[in-house]
A and B are shown apart, each in its own frame.
Chain A
Amino acid sequence: DIQMTQSPSSVSASVGDRVTITCRASQGIARWFAWYQQRPGKAPKLLIYAASTLQSGVPSRFSGSGSGTDFTLTISSLQPEDFATYYCQQANSFPLTFGPGTKVDIK
């Protein structure tokens, strides 16, 4: 199975801050990779797929990069609605696996 790790596990930030979250796969997955946002009590929402493609309707302050084993999610200017937990996911092979999540909360 492909293991996914994320760092940091949590980050405290202020509105307007630039936030970067990283995810690493235990083996190469090319660009078979996605990022999700989950607000408390809500279902996850797809933000980015194929490592860097922004899902329709997602604000352009979100961006993704990487390929192979190392990936990054960047929020260029944090907004109040961005305080949430972010998960990465590999889509290269079964079983599909998620990272443990990164909680972004208010500083």
Chain B
Amino acid sequence: EVQLLESGGGLVQPGGSLRLSCAASGFTFSSYAMNWVRQAPGKGLEWVSVISAGGGSTYFADSVKGRFTISRDNSKNTLYLQMNSLRAEDTAVYYCATGPHVDTTFINGWFDPWGQGTLVTVSS
């Protein structure tokens, strides 16, 4: 069974840092681009970042560029999101989501499957 399990969320003060993890199982993790998508309470979906299957290419939303870093450890089947200089507007449920297979040669695409999400709250 394909599974994505996020962890690392919690309460952090403005200006603080947090690292999210997403543990993958049930598929060949190293063959897929991976994304982070977030959803503020009661709001819609916002794509945050993507990393290619091999880790060599990354893209970010303007709202997090320069503050967030995406990485992956294919030996551990794990995706990461390092979040620095956090702001109140970063408060959201953060989902990891699988992107295109490496054979497609592109990393922009749709998301399937998704993890269950982890809540990040930025507040003093």
A and B: bona fide binding partners: yes
Interface residues, chain A, with chain B CB atoms under 8 Å away: 1, 32, 34, 36, 38, 42-46, 49, 55, 87, 89, 91-101
The answer to whether residues A97 and B111 also contact, given A43-B95, A43-B116, A43-B117 and a CB cut-off of 8 A, is: no
The answer to whether residues A91 and B45 also contact, given A43-B116, A45-B114 and a CB cut-off of 8 A, is: no
Instruction: Give which listed residue, A45, A49, A87, A93, contacts B108 with CB less than 8 A.
Output: A93
Interface assignment of B26: CB less than 8 Å from any CB of chain A: no
**CB of A27, distance to nearest CB on chain B (Å):** 15
- Kindly list 5 other residue pairs between chains A and B, CB separation below 8 angstroms, not including A55-B112, A89-B45, A91-B108: A34-B110, A36-B111, A92-B108, A96-B47, A98-B44
The total of chain B residues at the interface (CB under 8 A) is 22
**Which residue in chain B gives the minimum CB-CB distance to A49?**
B110
Kindly list chain A residues whose C-beta atoms are within 8 Å of the C-beta of B44.
Answer: 87, 98-101
Contact B114 A44 (CB under 8 A): yes
The answer for the CA separation of A74 and B108 in the assembled complex, in Å, is: 25
Instruction: Jot down 8 A-B pairs with beta carbons below 8 A, ordered by A.
Output: A44-B37, A45-B112, A49-B109, A91-B108, A93-B108, A98-B47, A99-B44, A101-B44
Contact B114 A95 (CB under 8 A): no
The answer to whether residues A97 and B110 also contact, given A43-B95, A43-B115, A43-B116 and a CB cut-off of 8 A, is: no
The answer for the CA separation of A106 and B95 in the assembled complex, in Å, is: 28
| Main SS at interface, chain A | loop
The answer for the CA separation of A46 and B111 in the assembled complex, in Å, is: 7
Kindly list chain A residues whose C-beta atoms are within 8 Å of the C-beta of B113.
Answer: 46
The answer for the CA separation of A36 and B59 in the assembled complex, in Å, is: 22
The answer for the CA separation of A49 and B104 in the assembled complex, in Å, is: 15
The 7 closest A-B pairs by CB, nearest first: A34-B110, A46-B112, A43-B114, A96-B47, A98-B45, A94-B59, A49-B110
Kindly list chain B residues whose C-beta atoms are within 8 Å of the C-beta of A55.
Answer: 112
Chain B 28-71: CB-based contact to A (< 8 A → 1; otherwise 0): 00000001010000001111001000000001111000000000
**Which residue in chain B gives the minimum CB-CB distance to A98?**
B45
**Which residue in chain B gives the minimum CB-CB distance to A96?**
B47
Contact B111 A44 (CB under 8 A): yes
